Amino acid sequence: MNPNAVVVDTNLIFSALIPKSSKIRDVLFETNRVFYSPNFLISEIYKHKDKLISSSKLTETEFHQFF
């Protein structure tokens, strides 16, 4: 098993995006990570994109950079 592997689900992404700064976000952006996620993660994130942007107070550009 890869110790740098991270399973990412939609709730984890929500938790990383909503606060302006987040420990979860910091972990997700470490360069030595390998991510695994369900196929529907991208569609779920974009389905709730407007609410995420509003709640996080990120600009749309920042949202896309993080995501």
DSSP state of 21: S
The predicted model scores a pTM of: 0.67
Position 55 confidence tier, pLDDT thresholds 50, 70, 90: confident
Q: How many domains does the chain have?
A: 1
Position 47 confidence tier, pLDDT thresholds 50, 70, 90: very high
Domain that holds residue 54: 5-66
Identify any residues that bridge with 5 across adjacent strands, giving them in sequence order: 34
Quick one: pLDDT at residue 6? 81
Tokens 């569609």, residue?
Answer: 43
Residue 4 has φ and ψ, to the nearest 5°, of -95, 5
Question: If you average pLDDT over every residue of the chain, what do you get?
Answer: 84
The gap from C-alpha 65 to its chain's centroid, in whole angstroms, comes to: 10
Radius of gyration (Cα) for the chain, nearest Å? 12
Q: Residues 17-22: what's their mean pLDDT?
A: 76
CA nearest to 21, candidates 67, 57, 61, 64: 57
Quick one: pLDDT at residue 50? 92
- Amino acid at site 24: I
Quick one: pLDDT at residue 29? 77
